Amino acid sequence: MAKQFRESKYLNESGTAKGNWYMNRLDYFKFYQYPEYKKHKILSLLIGIICFLLTLKLLPLTFWGALPFLYISYLSMRVFVLLHTRVCRYKGYFLIPKKIVAFLRAREIELDVNDFDSVATMNNK
């Protein structure tokens, strides 16, 4: 999907007949890899899996004790998906700290928003 994200035939579509959803470039941005990119990607995957397994172990004992591990698992898996696709929403995501989105936004790939496709999309909204 990362290579199809900027193809001209998908730039302003909300979906295709196959059921694949493509993101509008006015709502989402791509970002560059940074020096610790691979380390963060691996750590987020490992932390997500470990916290999810801890959640499964703690859930029968205490629901409230499992909630922090469930949140950490959600957060780290969401970060893993963001790092894997390298596409992020400008507005952020549900229960994701704005600091993470700001960190990725600092590494945003600059695009020309005055090209024909973007102007046509802005006029349709």
**Domains in the chain: boundaries:** 35-108
Q: 30 pairs with which residues across the strands?
A: 87
Which pLDDT belongs to residue 109? 85
Check: CB of residue 98 under 8 Å from CB of residue 92.
Answer: yes
Phi, psi of 119 (to 5 degrees): -65, -40
Which pLDDT belongs to residue 29? 82
Give the C-alpha separation, 23 to 1, whole Å.
Answer: 10
Phi, psi of 48 (to 5 degrees): -60, -45
Give the C-alpha separation, 125 to 117, whole Å.
Answer: 13
Which pLDDT belongs to residue 56? 96
Which pLDDT belongs to residue 54? 96
The pTM for the full model equals 0.71
Give the C-alpha separation, 68 to 109, whole Å.
Answer: 34
Give the C-alpha separation, 69 to 88, whole Å.
Answer: 24
Low-confidence ranges of the chain (pLDDT < 50): 12, 18-23, 125
Q: In this structure, which amino acid lies at residue 5?
A: F
Give the C-alpha separation, 125 to 118, whole Å.
Answer: 11
Give the C-alpha separation, 11 to 3, whole Å.
Answer: 12
